[in-house]
Amino acid sequence: MKTDLKRALVLILCGALILGGVSLTALAAPSSGENPDPEPSESVPAPAPAAERPAGEAATAGVTKDETVYVMAGADGSVEKLIVSDWLKNAGGAASIRDRSELTGIENVKGDESWTAVGDSLTWDAQGNDIYYQGTIQRDLPVEMTVTYKLDGKQVTPEELAGKSGRVTIRFDYTNKASESMDVDGKQETIFVPFAVLTGAVLDNEVFTNVEVTNGRLINDGDRTAVVGVAFPGLRESLGLDAETLDLPDYVEIAADAENFALETTITVAANEPFRELELDDLDSLGDLAGSMDEMTGAMAQLMDGAGQLYDGLSALAEKSGALSDGVGQLQAGAAQLYDGLNTLAANNASLNGGARQVFDTLLSTANTQLAAAGLEVPALTVDNYAKVLTGVISSLDGDAVYQKALGQVTAAVEEQRPYIEEQVTAAVREQVTAQVTAAVREQVAAQVTAAVREQVAEQVISAAAGMDRPSYDAAVAGGLIDEATQSAVESAIEEQMGSETVTQTIQTKTEEQMASGDVQTLIAANTEEQMGGDTVKGLIASNTEAQVQKAIADNMASDQVQAQLAAASEGAKSVIGLKTSLDSYNAFYTGLQTYTAGVAQAASGAGELKSGADQLNAAVPALIDGVGQLKDGAKELSDGLTQFNEEAIQKLADAVDGDLAGLTSRLQAVKDAAGDYQSFAGLEDGMDGQVKFIYRTDSIGTP
């Protein structure tokens, strides 16, 4: 049957791939503004006449979404960009289509139909046409692809492999990330959304020789070798099969001898559409047969065991018939004694319950008095409400609750002073800003004054040393008429004069005169106001104001008055907690007493029924002994007959059906259902059918 099982699954999977019609002709991903889908080749019904098209609310019925997700991946399979192309097939010719999509940068790539968007809800002004649009999205893929490379058995990066020679291994590993918990024969099982994954690559025969593929096929035309591999990640786990029963691959591996390694892009297609078309009728009947055989074999074994045990038990019972008669007599006497004793206990139930209730009422009255003395206004405590009332009192006296209440009051009081605090902070910040602006302006003024004084000093020194004015001296220096010694002497004399106390005092005096002038003061005021109006200073004022507000709140919360309130609340809570604990303890006793008296009453009633039944049993013992003998003989015949039927019929029938298919059809149905549930990657409107496939394109290695 294992061979039949493999054959059945292989036929199903092959048929699924054929039905899916997955193609590897798409060797390039769409660029922005290009239509990623080919022109539709299938026959699409013409739009309905305008009079027949629905008016008003946008349509979803009769609209299907065909979605292709293009995965731009690095040479190692890492995702770099996702481009999603959607085709809304408007078979009913609706004027308006309601759609749902989480794409960004949506673009109509085949027409000029407009759309409106509210969140991820789109409404297309379809005008009876199909809609083709694309966009981008950032989201984890349902099938994760990882590509690893080895050169002469050592793992290398794609960059390291470019241009190298040796035995190369390229492995594509696929991990199924999409699953759901489904009911399979009464158990919750993890079922992966099934995907048929096909990976294709075209190898140049001048670069690659001795090509081998694991889980795939090769086609060589003399110049190139086409490699196509197939995998079904997660399918074997979903079917609950081990690798010995059926090996469903989850990877593709290519091995070849390479000379100056270079590889164009690889294309991988992942689609679940093939599994949505599975035909399971034949497998259902076979699975039912295997399941029925298992149930029949198990039931037969239990029935035979039960028949043997019945015969053994009846034999023992027949041997003990005399003891049974004596025991029934003793049971009759004991039942009468039990009945009398329980009736005596039950007669005291009312007195016990009444006394316990009176004690409980006294305890509650005392508790009411204690609460009133503590200044707590609460409803009068009763057996039914005391727990709820005292829990509320404890909550109100909880340290955190009292703290939060005090914090709210203090915060409200401080917030009333926020305008004043902000005014004080603003004044302090203005003073700092004014000082900084003044210092900056002073630095500029001092620089200007120093430059002017230096010019005067230079004129005097040059006149004394060279007997000429500054322009003439500069011209003479430029003409090479002044030797370097004279120039050096002039510069030294200028620096000496600039460092003299007289010149220094002159610079300081003139700087202060400039700083006191109306123009400079106006400049300082303008720069200060500009700084005060900037976002930085405003932010500083806001943060300092908030800091001062929080400090005031913290200082008030740390005050003796607030701390005393918190301490008093804590002590009050401890007292009420102790009171409730005492009442809870008595309530447990009171409740237990009620349960006990109710049980006594019920036991007394049951004892009466037992006494009556014992009387009847005692009268029926002779007939019972005769019946046991007859039943024993019949059980012997039943056991012998079942043994013969099992050996001659059931076991032979069970041996003809291997149990390998038990439960498989249920799991196949779950796999098909999971495929049907996964209809879109970027979003699907309620009431709309869809299908989606994923096309992965990896970067080339070592090619221009």
Residue 228 lies in a domain: yes
- The interaxial angle of helices 418-466 and 501-515, nearest 10 deg, is 140
Q: pLDDT digit string (tens) for 592-617?
A: 777 778 877 777 677 677 667 667 76
Average pLDDT of 196-203? Answer: 92
**Burial environment of residue 146 by CB neighbours within 10 A (0 to 12, 13 to 18, 19 or more):** middle
Taking the C-alpha atoms of residue 8 and residue 642, their distance in angstroms, rounded to an integer, is: 36
Kindly state whether residues 69 and 111 are assigned to the same domain: yes
What pLDDT sits at residue 678? 94
Residue 352 has pLDDT above 60, yes or no: yes
Q: Helix 518-532 to helix 501-515 angle, to the nearest 10 degrees? A: 60
Annotate 43-91 with three-state secondary structure.
CCCCCCCHHHCCCCCCECCCEEEEEEEEEEECCCCCEEEEEEEEEEEEC
Does residue 614 sit within a domain? Answer: no
Please say which residue of 246, 269, 292 terminates a domain: 269
**% of residues, the chain, pLDDT over 90:** 36
Q: H helices within 97-194, ranges in order?
A: 158-161
Residues 116, 186: one domain? Answer: no
Q: Is residue 474 part of a domain?
A: yes
One domain, residues 154 and 205: yes
pLDDT for the residue 153 = 96
Q: Collapse the DSSP code of 662 into the 3-class scheme (helix H, G, I; strand E, B; otherwise coil) and give the result.
A: coil
Domain assignment of residue 463, yes or no: yes
Residues 173 and 244 in one domain: yes
Task: Please check whether residues 109 and 166 belong to one and the same domain.
Answer: no
Residues sharing a CB contact under 8 Å with residue 429, sequence separation 6 or more, in sequence order? 532, 537, 540, 541, 544
pLDDT in tens, 520-568: 999 999 999 888 888 988 898 998 999 888 888 888 877 877 777 677 6
Domain ranges, residue 465: 416-557
Residue 343 domain flag: no
Assess whether 90 and 108 both reside in one domain.
yes
In CATH, what number is assigned to the domain containing residue 202? 2.60.40
What pLDDT band is residue 33 in, cutting at 50, 70 and 90?
very low
pLDDT digits (tens, 9 = 90+) for 465-500: 888 888 988 888 888 888 888 889 888 988 888 889
Task: Choose between 348 and 313: higher pLDDT.
Answer: 348
| Same-domain pairing of 150 and 132 | no
Q: What is the pLDDT of residues 112-155, one digit of tens each?
A: 999 999 999 999 999 999 999 999 999 999 999 999 999 999 99
The end-to-end CA distance of the chain, in Å, is 54
Residues 167, 265 within the same domain: yes
Phi, psi of 347 (to 5 degrees): -65, -20
The continuous run of DSSP H or E covering 146 comes out as strand 143-151
Q: Which among 668, 687, 476, 670 is positioned nearest to 15, based on CA atoms? A: 668
Is 511 inside a domain boundary?
yes
Same domain membership, residue 552 and residue 420:
yes
Residue 600 included in any domain = no
Q: Of the candidates 524, 541, 557, which is a domain's last residue? A: 557
pLDDT at 41 over 60: no
**Quick one: average pLDDT of 374-391?**
83
Same domain, 61 and 108: yes
Tell me, yes or no, whether 128 and 149 share the same domain: no
Q: Which helix (H) or strand (E) holds 631?
A: helix 560-645
Q: How many domains does the chain have?
A: 3
Q: Tell whether 45 and 97 lie within a shared domain.
A: yes
In this predicted structure, the answer to whether residue 306 has a pLDDT above a threshold of 60 is: no
pLDDT tens digits for range 50-95 = 333 344 457 677 899 999 999 999 999 999 999 999 999 999 899 9
Identify whether 518 is part of a domain.
yes
Per the DSSP assignment, residues forming a β-bridge with 166 are 258
Of the three residues 136, 160, 181, the one that is the final residue of a domain is 136
Single-letter code of the amino acid located at 515? M
- Is pLDDT larger for residue 693 or for residue 371? 693
User: In Å, how far from its chain's centre is CA 195?
Assistant: 22
| Residues pairing with 701 in the sheet | 263
Higher pLDDT, 607 or 249: 249
Tokens of 224: 């190139």
